[in-house]
A and B are shown apart, each in its own frame.
Chain A
Amino acid sequence: MNLFLDAFAWLLDPASWQGPSSIAVRIGEHLFYTALAVLIGAAVAIPVGWLIGHTGRGREIAVGVAGAARALPSFGLLFLFVMIAGVLLRGPSTILVLVLLAVPPILAGAYAGLEVIDRRVIDAARAVGMTEWQILWKVEVPLGLPLLLGGLRGGTLQVVATAVLAAFVNLGGLGLPIVEGIALRDYGRMLGAAMLIIALALLLDALFAVLDRVAIPRGVRAGRVTDVRTASPRRRAAADPPATTEKETV
């Protein structure tokens, strides 16, 4: 338990929160790298995922590429990029590594979200006269949102956990106290930083959980309750049509 006391001592020490290397700055850097990587990853992966999901083409390639990208060793990749691109470009190199990490889950979420939509719904949308763009924006995107958010959530958590690597190319972030801790044999500092990263990940996860509730239109959620038996009693009450059904409307 001594170690945990050391960790809390470091976290609670006012000196840790002051100056240019304060914990607050590290958190800021860490979040900045995470946000940037997820945004770039999303900008790349979402359109590609939607394209694959809408056309149904290129799925095998995407699955293959995404699977391979997942298996890439981020740490090794970072040093490879820095060596190829040069130390001056270590910022972009770091972001690129994190983007590569963020892309597979977002890509999977984007195309899976479109893929799971009932084909009959899309067929009907086309049959009543929606253009392909209208099918994408008015039908597929809203209905695919839950899985897309799931993909963003997974990608964000992976990136926030891996952004520690930034410290190894001297870019700060919450990995820095860990690197310093190794050098100084200050295990309290290492553990404190690790705990902060975990807390950050949990916080972001909670944020996505909230987003999941707020951003998904009511009907999409109502649409999930196709099998009322598996729904909660309250949801079931909402999904069950009251007694004023067929007979009275005739």
Chain B
Amino acid sequence: MIEFRSISKRFADGTLAVDGFSLVIPSHRTTVLVGSSGCGKTTLLRMINRMVDASSGALEIDGENVSSIEPVALRRRIGYVMQNSGLLPHRTVIDNIATVPRLNGVPRAQARARALELMDTVGLDRAMARRYPAQLSGGQQQRVGVARGLAVDPNILLMDEPFGAVDPIVRAELQQELLRLQRELGKTVVFVTHDIDEAFLLGDQVVILEKGASIAQKGTPAEILANPASDFVASFIGAERGKRALHLREVDGRRILVDGDGAVAGRLVEADSA
């Protein structure tokens, strides 16, 4: 469990990025922080592994205040996946994945064997082990990034817009992979995105943020969609338009769902047959 207790962050230039933020992130679930650019969601994420230190307030992981944990040690037990993968360009795929175990003193052969297993886990062909990041596609690089994040078998996995820079088809594929992985591994995932569809797809708990990282609404996707807390949330999730605003239309005695753009979305059927 990760707990933010009235966390604030004022940067050196005086901007208040986070103002009195409190949130409980449950273990073994995916929590998605979603909001527009500059709302402070990445800052919040980076506080968890002390890439950013809070100006005031307390952040606890399983009851332990992170400010009492040495940053390097803390980071080595938390997986981190970022946009554009952040892989080391001069190291092969296998050595990139093995980076953190090697830092922790795991023998090279053992770290590499584990890295190969992780390549299977994230759906990478083992034949890619000796490639360099520049020789991989964007989607493959992100898979390597996820494998690296999992290398020390962390309880917590931080993901900072990991699928933001890949094309929509690959993104959808990677999202499904992440759902599969999460079913298998049950990590405490904290995921940052500006894409509400991604948030609703991946999140057990979705936290919608406004400027200054103030929580506009939090809950399961269904709760938020059923009952947007404010006009801001309603407009952010697009409840009134597009493919979220479905209405029924009778066609030949059957009920068809049509979205806000007038496109056919599907049929209305009984829940147990779905």
CB < 8 Å neighbour of A245 from B49, B87, B88, B137 = B137
Q: Give per-residue flags for B66-86: 1 if the beta carbon is below 8 A from chain A beta carbons, else 0.
A: 000000111110001011111
Interchain CB contact under 8 A, B132 and A222: yes
A121 beta carbon closer than 8 Å to chain B: yes
Interchain CB contact under 8 A, B51 and A126: yes
Interchain CB contact under 8 A, A127 and B125: no
Interchain CB contact under 8 A, A143 and B90: yes
A138 to B99 CA separation, bound complex (whole angstroms): 10
B221 beta carbon closer than 8 Å to chain A: no
Kindly provide the distance from the CB of A120 to the nearest chain B CB, expressed in whole angstroms: 5
Interchain CB contact under 8 A, A250 and B173: yes
A239 beta carbon closer than 8 Å to chain B: yes
Interchain CB contact under 8 A, A129 and B75: yes
Q: Is the interface of A mostly helix, strand, loop or mixed?
A: helix
A143 to B88 CA separation, bound complex (whole angstroms): 9
Most buried by B among A239, A241, A249: A249
Interchain CB contact under 8 A, B135 and A222: yes
Report if A219-B91 is in contact (Cβ < 8 Å); known contacts: A120-B82, A120-B86, A241-B137.
yes
Q: From A218, which residue of chain B is reached at the shortest CB distance?
A: B132
Q: Which residues of A contact B127 (CB under 8 A)?
A: 244
Q: Which residues of A contact B139 (CB under 8 A)?
A: 245-246
A131 beta carbon closer than 8 Å to chain B: yes
Q: From A225, which residue of chain B is reached at the shortest CB distance?
A: B134
Q: Which residues of B contact A143 (CB under 8 A)?
A: 89-90
Report if A226-B87 is in contact (Cβ < 8 Å); known contacts: A120-B82, A128-B99, A246-B140.
no
> How many chain B residues touch A (Cβ–Cβ < 8 Å)?
42
Interchain CB contact under 8 A, A124 and B73: no
Kindly provide the distance from the CB of B161 to the nearest chain A CB, expressed in whole angstroms: 12
Report if A219-B82 is in contact (Cβ < 8 Å); known contacts: A129-B72, A244-B127, A250-B177.
no
Q: From A130, which residue of chain B is reached at the shortest CB distance?
A: B103
A225 to B133 CA separation, bound complex (whole angstroms): 10
Kindly provide the distance from the CB of A249 to the nearest chain B CB, expressed in whole angstroms: 5
Interchain CB contact under 8 A, A129 and B76: yes
Q: Which of A212-250 contact B (CB under 8 A)?
A: 217-220, 222-226, 238-241, 244-246, 248-250
A239 to B133 CA separation, bound complex (whole angstroms): 9
B136 beta carbon closer than 8 Å to chain A: yes
Interchain CB contact under 8 A, A123 and B86: yes
Q: Which residues of B contact A121 (CB under 8 A)?
A: 86-89
Q: Which of A105-133 contact B (CB under 8 A)?
A: 118, 120-121, 123-131
Interchain CB contact under 8 A, A128 and B76: yes
A130 to B170 CA separation, bound complex (whole angstroms): 30
Q: Which residues of B contact A138 (CB under 8 A)?
A: 88
Q: Which residues of B contact A123 (CB under 8 A)?
A: 51, 82, 86
CB < 8 Å neighbour of A128 from B80, B89, B133, B134 = B80
A57 to B260 CA separation, bound complex (whole angstroms): 54
Interchain CB contact under 8 A, B135 and A239: yes
Q: Which residues of A contact B143 (CB under 8 A)?
A: 249
Kindly provide the distance from the CB of B191 to the nearest chain A CB, expressed in whole angstroms: 15
Interchain CB contact under 8 A, A219 and B125: no
Interchain CB contact under 8 A, B173 and A128: no
Q: Which residues of B contact A240 (CB under 8 A)?
A: 135
Interchain CB contact under 8 A, B90 and A219: yes
A181 beta carbon closer than 8 Å to chain B: no
Interchain CB contact under 8 A, B80 and A127: yes
B100 beta carbon closer than 8 Å to chain A: yes
Q: Which residues of B contact A220 (CB under 8 A)?
A: 89-90
Q: Which residues of A contact B73 (CB under 8 A)?
A: 129
Q: Which residues of A contact B125 (CB under 8 A)?
A: 244, 248-249
Q: Give per-residue flags for B131-169: 1 if the beta carbon is below 8 A from chain A beta carbons, else 0.
A: 111111101100100001100000000000000000000
Q: Which of B2-39 contact A (CB under 8 A)?
A: none
15 extra A-B contacts, CB within 8 A, seeds A219-B92, A245-B137, A249-B140 = A121-B87, A124-B80, A124-B86, A124-B88, A127-B51, A128-B103, A128-B148, A129-B100, A143-B89, A222-B89, A222-B134, A223-B134, A240-B135, A241-B131, A246-B173
- Footprint of A on B, CB under 8 Å? 46, 49, 51, 72-76, 80, 82-92, 99-100, 103, 123-125, 127, 131-137, 139-140, 143, 148-149, 170, 173, 177
What are 11 inter-chain pairs, A to B, with CB distance below 8 A? A123-B82, A124-B82, A127-B49, A128-B103, A129-B75, A129-B76, A130-B72, A142-B90, A143-B90, A223-B90, A223-B133
